[in-house]
């Protein structure tokens, strides 16, 4: 069965860095586009970043552009999010999600359980 398991969250000081990982299993990871989505405590969903199946196409939300870097290792069935220059407003649960089809505007059919990132001094 399809599984997405995030890890790497934790408490970090403002200005610090953190690297999130998403381990995928139960499907051919290299065939699918992936995204990171976050949810601040008590708030709605916010898309963070997208990467195509080969990694050749990448997009970021304006709120993280220049600070976050998405990447993937298809040989390791893993998705990553390198987060630098973290701010208090980056505090959120971070989810990785799989797009159902390898085409633009395809919905997210599987989500991980999320990993909590807290940015605080």
Partner 1 sequence: SYVLTQPPSVSVAPGKTARITCGGNNIGSKSVHWYQQKPGQAPVLVIYYDSDRPSGIPERFSGSNSGNTATLTISRVEAGDEADYYCQVWDSSSDHPGWVFGGGTKLTVL
Pairing of strands 92-99, 18-25: unpaired
By CB under 8 A, name the binding residues for partner 1. 35, 37, 44-47, 50, 59-62, 65, 95, 100, 104-105, 107-109, 111-114
Shortest Å distance, C-beta 108 to partner 1: 6
C-beta closer to partner 1: residue 18 or 49: 49
Q: Could you tell me if 48 and 68 are in contact, meaning their C-beta atoms sit under 8 angstroms apart?
A: yes
Nearest residue (CB) to partner 1, 84 versus 114: 114
Instruction: Name the minimum Å distance from CB 14 to partner 1.
Output: 25
Contact between residue 112 and residue 26 where contact means Cβ atoms under 8 Å apart: no
Place of tokens 């963070």: 48
- Nearest distance from residue 110's CB to partner 1, in Å? 9
**Calpha distance 1→75 (Å, rounded):** 19
Q: Are 115 and 94 in contact (CB under 8 A)?
A: yes
Q: Which residue number, 41 or 75, has a Cβ lying nearer to partner 1?
A: 41
């Amino acid at each position: 069965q399809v599984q997405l398991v995030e890890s790497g969250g934790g408490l970090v000081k403002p200005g610090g860095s953190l690297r999130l990982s998403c381990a995928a299993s139960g499907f051919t990871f290299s065939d699918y586009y992936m995204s990171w989505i976050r949810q601040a405590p008590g708030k709605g969903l916010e898309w963070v970043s997208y990467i195509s199946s080969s990694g050749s196409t990448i997009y970021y939300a304006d709120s993280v552009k220049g600070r976050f870097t998405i990447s993937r290792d298809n040989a390791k069935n893993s998705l990553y999010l390198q987060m630098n220059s973290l701010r208090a407003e980056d505090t959120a649960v971070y989810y990785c999600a799989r797009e159902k089809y390898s085409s633009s505007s395809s919905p997210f059919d599987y989500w991980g359980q999320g990993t909590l990132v807290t940015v605080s001094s």
